[in-house]
Each structure stands twice: as C-alpha cells, then as structure tokens.
Structure 1
C-alpha cells in the first residue's frame, strides 16, 4: 500500500497526489490518498509518499500540521515504512521547500527508510508541478 499524504494550501500538492496515484494504480500499485491526514488513520507500514508545499515562513500547510505534530509528539514505530517526499515551493523565498525538507528529515530521524532523496519542485521552473512529479516517479518507480 502506498499512502499518499498531502499538505496543501491552494490545492497544488493535492493535484500532484491525485496524478501520481493514477499513475501508480496504472502500474498495479494500491494507493490511498490522505488530503486531511491523521496519524491514527495511516498504518505505519508500506510506503508513505508525502507531497507538501511550504506556506508562510517555511511552515506546513494547515491541513497537514496536526499530522506532523502527532509524528513529532508521539513517533510511531517506523521500521516497516519506506517513504519519499516531494516538496513543492517557490525558489524566490529563502524558505524554499522548507516543509518538505523538514518532513524528510523527520521521517528519516524516526526510523523510516527513504526510497529517494527529497525531491524539490520549483513552481518558477515548472508551471505544472504534476509533470515534474511524474518525471521523478518514472525514474523511481522501481523503489516502490
């Protein structure tokens, strides 16, 4: 099972999540999308694919903040979890993709196994973040 966990303010990360879910299903994978993620509803097994934008001064979008806080406050046993993080941001800000980079470090620190380095998508270079995410997925599909 691939849990697609999105952190989105304006919907961009959700669009990327939906697109990658469709591609993964076409390849025979089972996915579950969590646009309002709750740690109690996501198994600490399989693969977590976190797709998040960065809001404000390097903060997580509102919808994913409780999920991240729960992981920080009571880290689940993560040795059965593989993960990847797609961070979406605007490189004109000094907090470019800070939320995604933090999520990557957090999951790694609590024992989850990364399947790839944190990928950053700059909206200044990619008008359609789904295209950049699809390119990344095609290069890493064997990791899932």
Structure 2
C-alpha cells in the first residue's frame, strides 16, 4: 500500500480545501493519504518510502505562504538528502502576476535540490481560469495515479 503525505500552504483557504479534496480522492483510489496541517510540519522530513504532494498558493512577490514557510525554511536549512522521495507539486496562483505560482516553483526547486524526484510535472492552477482549483486538481489525479502505478 502506497502512503501519500499531503501538505499545504494557504492564505485564504483554497489550497487547504484543494489538499483536503485530494486526500479524499487519493483515499478513494485505495492509497493511504495523510493530510498534514502547516502547524504539524515543524520538523517533518518526508519518508522516502512514501509519496509527497505539496499544495500551495503564492503571496506577495511570489513568496511561500506564511503558514508553511517555517517548514520550507527547515527543509532548506537542514537539507536532508532525499533521492528516493517521489513528489508532486500543485500550485495555485494568478497568471496576471509576474510571480505566478512562485511558491510552487520554489518548492519544486527545493525538493529537486534535495535529490527528490518529481513524479509528475508541476500542476499550476490559474485563478483567472478557474474559481474551483480543487476541480482542476481532481482532474490531475488521473496523471498522478498513472505515474504512481507505473513507478511503484
């Protein structure tokens, strides 16, 4: 059984709701999904035997949201080597800004620097195109599921 950890960073709740929706859908696919709240991530280092999905929105000038930034900084500072970790990134943003999905791009770059392997291409959900990012993320699960089944 594949274990999937979902973490999220949000300002207004869209990324949280999207992560909650994904957790339910992943469980329905027969995987063990653990949704971790930002305040539960202080010293969390993802297990390489499990999958990681990061769902995050972007603030200001492309920054990681305040709620998940401490975890981002912890990973950056401790720099654990995670060559067997498979991860996916779901970014929520607004393409009318130059920093569209900046936080998702930063997480993608950081996890790659730590040696982790992207399981799927980064999903960037544009608020100018959809008001319900959880629906786009649910559609993306077909791609994620196929990648997991082919890599496990």
Q: Which residue of 1 aligns with 2:16?
A: 14
Distance 2:141 2:76 in 1: 27
Return the TM-score normalized by structure 2.
0.90
Question: Where do 1:1-144 residues align within 5 Å?
Answer: 1-36=3-38, 37-38=40-41, 40-45=43-48, 46-144=50-148
In structure 1, runs of 5+ residues without a counterpart are none
Quick one: structure 1 residues 62 and 116, their matched pair in 2 at CA, closer, same or farther if it must change by over 3 Å? same
Note if contact 1:47-1:82 (Cα within 8 Å) is conserved in structure 2.
yes
User: Which 4+ runs in 1 deviate beyond 6 A?
Assistant: none
Residues of 2 paired with 1:112 and 1:39: CA distance?
19
Give per-residue Cα distances to partners, 1:42-99, cap 9 Å, x unaligned.
Answer: 4332111000000111111111100000111111121231000001001111110001
TM-score by length of 1: 0.95
Matched positions, count:
144
The two structures, once aligned, show a CA RMSD in angstroms of 1.2
